[in-house]
Amino acid sequence: MKCYHVDAFAEKVFEGNPAAVCVLDKYPSDELMLKIAMENNLSETAFAVKEGENYHLRWFTPGGEIDLCGHATLGTSYVLFNFFEKDATSITYNTLSGPLTVVRKGDLLEMDFPAYELKEVPVTDLMEEALGVRPVEAWLGRDLVCVLEKEEDIAPLKPDHSKLVELDGLLQHITAKGTKYDSVSRSFCSKLAVPEDPVCGSGHCHIVPLWAQKLGKDEIIARQASARGGTLHCSMNGDRVTLAGSAVLYSIADLYVEE
């Protein structure tokens, strides 16, 4: 089995968010896919199988399958466009989150994703204990989004992961209005055995709608302020979010695995 290691939302290797990508003729068992994800020990391993004109795409973290992942979709698209579908300008995936289309536009790959509906929730003492700073607002969709007062608080923050797992939401994101960028964020995935996601596409399906509303604009340049860092070029289109970024190949490996 071939396994491609791609740095997504990156302009050079060692930036952005690494994802493993396996393009297969048919799916192995869920148990084997989870073991591969655990062995890769990246935030996501994507498995793609051709399905008619489209591809069926699934994402596994070391902690289990997830319903939506942006950077692994970007990584999968990079692999397909460069190795399997060299003449294609777009690819549509059948996923747990419905059809997702990725379009090649120069060096950028543009992904059309669903936006999560957010509801404001009370800021709690547990949020402050988990994050080490008290948010000024909190919003809940699939994930919890905590808005901080100052951009400067984002990068140095060291959350308590034992308390993050007690908070609502599958993932927890912190975000603030940026100066160079429209928004600055970080994403934590303790419930999925991934302490921090370096650049989280599905998280920005929460973060972008929030800042689009707050800033009164549909075009958002978002920065993920993890140690690796990454930039997302985003736009709101009704109840959809467009996320665009570049990707680079780090390695191609042969996996010697059997059912």
DSSP bridge pairs for 60: 45, 65
44 labelled catalytic:
yes
Catalytic residue selected from 44, 149, 166, 258 = 44
E-assigned strand segments in 52-169: 54-61, 64-66, 90-95, 98-105, 108-114, 119-121, 137-140, 144-147
User: Would strands 108-114 and 119-121 be described as parallel, antiparallel, or unpaired?
Assistant: unpaired
- Are 237 and 149 in contact by the 8 Å Cβ rule? The answer is no
Maximum distance among all alpha carbons in the chain?
A: 53
* DSSP secondary structure, 40-78, as one string: HTSS-EEEEEEETTEEEEEEEETTEEES--HHHHHHHHH
Catalytic residues: 44
